[in-house]
């Protein structure tokens, strides 16, 4: 009998590193299901937009407490600890990208917990993430209320401003996709960095911080090495960790990228810029203000510049709150469906 001729022609095989969505009318995603022209495209974030979303999730809340943390720890230990935290979080963020490429069905940290530890892991990690970001969102709303208080010279009760921040944050968080949010991330990033730079430049050119003694010659009392007790030191370290609190959202950002293989490129840009900004702001503001640095740092240059800096930073604080609420609600949605199915 004649032997069957072997077909050596090449044929397409499924990608093992993640799907790429570009100029397609129809696609299936392991997380979002079928994506068509009629519905929202959840896989529509480029690597530049992803870098903006990552940077905005990081530079938002914790940066305002870095100079105060340096005052507690001292400028040298503060810089060393900040760089160490940056290295640890960068490695963790990189592993998020690696994990996502190998497990395309992962959208959030709850899915990762489910893959590692089953149903209990999914529920535990999901609730832990949601609880954690409830407090992060609360911190964002508090920051917005402080900004509104400063701009209005305490025009009304702080609780009213917190309510305004919550309403605005939830309304903006209802935008369906991160792809549509990426332009807002750029706007928020530019605004908050501008506000911080206003204060940084102001404290450098002013004679002294607004809260320092106004009589006689004043010299900054910054410390090379701090001498605070353990409780204050660990609180300062926690503030530096909080400055990198956007890490859990990177799962969701990677899930909505058009090409998840470009995640690492966006990540390196994000972490490089974020760490450089943190070091520059923390060192310069603390060097010129010393122990008279304000918390949040935007109040270090006096009432007038405080209003100006908060005026610039307010959109950035709002975008940070929006991103935190948006990602948390999406994970809540998928986690809720999972728990409902268990029942």
Mean pLDDT rounded to a whole number for the chain: 84
Query: What does the pLDDT read at residue 6?
Result: 46
- How far is the CA of 182 from the CAs of 187, 197, 253, in angstroms? 9, 22, 10
Strand-pair partners of 28: 34
Band (246; pLDDT cuts 50, 70, 90)? confident
Which of 193, 189, 151, 182 lies closest to 307, judged by CA? Answer: 151
Band (28; pLDDT cuts 50, 70, 90)? low
- How far is the CA of 19 from the CAs of 249, 262, 331, in angstroms? 20, 12, 21
Query: What does the pLDDT read at residue 55?
Result: 93
pLDDT digits (tens, 9 = 90+) for 261-281: 999 999 999 999 999 999 999
Six-digit token string for 260 = 């998840």
Band (255; pLDDT cuts 50, 70, 90)? confident
Q: Assess contact for 237 and 88: CB atoms under 8 A.
A: no
Q: Assess contact for 285 and 196: CB atoms under 8 A.
A: no
3-state secondary structure of 209: coil
Query: What does the pLDDT read at residue 106?
Result: 86
Q: Name which residue leads in pLDDT, 60 or 164.
A: 164
Q: Please check the confidence at residue 8 and state whether its pLDDT lies above 50.
A: no
Please give the Cα distance from 326 to 170 (Å, whole number): 8
pLDDT digits (tens, 9 = 90+) for 49-74: 999 999 998 887 788 889 999 999 99
pLDDT digits (tens, 9 = 90+) for 104-138: 888 888 888 888 998 898 888 888 888 888 888 89
Q: Is residue 282 classed exposed, middle or buried when 0-12, 13-18 and 19+ CB atoms within 10 A define those classes?
A: buried
119 preceded by cis ω (within 30°)?
no
The mean pLDDT of 169-183, rounded to a whole number, is 89
The mean pLDDT of 203-222, rounded to a whole number, is 84
Instruction: Please give the helix or strand (H or E) that residue 236 lies within, else none.
Output: helix 230-242
DSSP summary character for residue 35:
E
pLDDT digits (tens, 9 = 90+) for 73-100: 999 999 999 999 999 999 999 999 999 8
Query: What does the pLDDT read at residue 5?
Result: 47
């Amino acid at each position: 009998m004649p032997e069957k001729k072997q077909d050596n022609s090449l044929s397409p095989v499924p990608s093992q590193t993640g799907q790429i969505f570009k100029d397609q009318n129809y696609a299936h995603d392991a997380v979002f299901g079928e994506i068509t022209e009629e519905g929202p495209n959840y896989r529509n974030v480029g690597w530049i937009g992803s870098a903006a979303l990552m940077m905005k999730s990081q530079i938002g809340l914790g940066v305002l407490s870095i100079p105060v943390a340096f005052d507690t720890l001292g400028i040298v230990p503060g810089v060393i600890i900040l760089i160490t935290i940056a290295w640890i979080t960068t490695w963790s963020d990189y592993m998020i990208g690696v994990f996502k490429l190998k497990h395309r069905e992962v959208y959030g940290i709850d899915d990762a917990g489910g893959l590692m530890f089953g149903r209990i892991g999914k529920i535990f990690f999901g609730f832990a993430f949601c609880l954690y970001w409830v407090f992060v969102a609360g911190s964002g709303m508090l920051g917005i209320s402080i900004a509104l208080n400063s701009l209005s010279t305490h025009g009304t009760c702080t609780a009213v401003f917190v309510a305004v921040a919550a309403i605005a944050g939830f309304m903006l968080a209802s935008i369906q996709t991160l792809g549509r949010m990426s332009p807002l991330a750029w706007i928020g990033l530019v605004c908050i960095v501008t506000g911080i730079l206003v204060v940084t430049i102001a404290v450098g050119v002013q004679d002294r911080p607004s809260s320092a003694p106004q009589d006689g010659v004043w010299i900054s009392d910054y410390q090379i090495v701090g001498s605070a007790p353990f409780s204050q030191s660990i609180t300062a370290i926690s503030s530096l960790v909080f400055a990198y609190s956007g890490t859990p959202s990177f799962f969701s950002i990677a899930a909505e990228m058009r090409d998840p293989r470009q995640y690492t490129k966006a990540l390196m840009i994000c972490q490089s810029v974020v760490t450089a900004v943190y070091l520059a702001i923390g060192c310069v503001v603390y060097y010129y203000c010393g122990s008279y640095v304000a918390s949040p740092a935007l109040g270090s240059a006096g009432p007038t510049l405080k209003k100006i800096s908060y005026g610039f930073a307010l959109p950035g604080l709002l975008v940070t709150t929006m991103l935190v609420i948006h990602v948390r609600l999406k994970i809540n949605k998928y986690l809720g469906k999972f728990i409902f199915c268990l029942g």
